[in-house]
Chain A
Amino acid sequence: DVKVTQSSRYLVKRTGEKVFLECVQDMDHENMFWYRQDPGLGLRLIYFSYDVKMKEKGDIPEGYSVSREKKERFSLILESASTNQTSMYLCASSFLGGRRKTQYFGPGTRLLVL
């Protein structure tokens, strides 16, 4: 079974704090993704990575950065959290190449920024 885990299910942070969200997958997938999910807006891609130390901006990268030091781990960093970053954050992984491009998701981290 594919397993994608996220470091926290719920987080409460204050405005201006630095926030780290971690994601680990155990399927040796090359690709990893960070999304946020908001009511009425659906899932939006923040960043993705197709290899260690490689990263690409998604549709809404502003206010976020990422780190991928190991193949199995992909971290999302909020340098200075703001209230408009309150959201559900979802990590996903997939194999590189091929036609299916199926992504497997973690359980999500619900972040509240006060």
Chain B
Amino acid sequence: TQLLEQSPQFLSIQEGENLTVYCNSSSVFSSLQWYRQEPGEGPVLLVTVVTGGEVKKLKRLTFQFGDARKDSSLHITAAQPGDTGLYLCAGAGSGGGADGLTFGKGTHLIIQP
């Protein structure tokens, strides 16, 4: 069974600060997705990373996939209140087929004005 551990579970910081969220596993994933979810809504895809060592940027958000494709990080620069939400990482297995993603339990992020 593949597991994804996210840390921290909860994070509350002031507007303008930087933060990093981690997603770790002992398993290798063929790809890893990051989602943001707001209360009462479905997760919205932020990025998919596929190649070990890959770095993707989305405005103030920087995503990195570990060299061994077992872990990932999300770094937010100068956090804004609009970044508040639940951040989920999800890994896809290496096999083919339609099996579901393995999800971390999420990081609840609150950015205080």
Contacts and interface: CB of A to CB of B under 8 A. Distances in A.
Interface of A: 4, 9, 30-31, 33, 35, 40-43, 45, 48-50, 56, 58, 90, 94, 96-97, 99-108, 110
B100 A105 contact: no
Contact of A49 (B30, B41, B98): B98
B62 interface: no
B97 interface: yes
Interface of B: 30-31, 33, 35, 40-45, 48, 50, 88, 90, 92, 96-101, 103-106
Contacts, number: 66
B104 to A, nearest CB: 7
Contact of B98 (A4, A56, A104, A107): A56
Contact of A90 (B43, B48, B92): B43
Nearest to B35: A105
B40 A42 contact: no
A23 B97 CA distance: 21
A48 B31 contact: no
Given A9-B40, A41-B105, A110-B40, 13 more contacts: A42-B104, A45-B100, A49-B98, A50-B97, A56-B99, A90-B43, A94-B98, A96-B98, A101-B92, A102-B31, A102-B33, A102-B48, A103-B33
B41 A42 contact: no
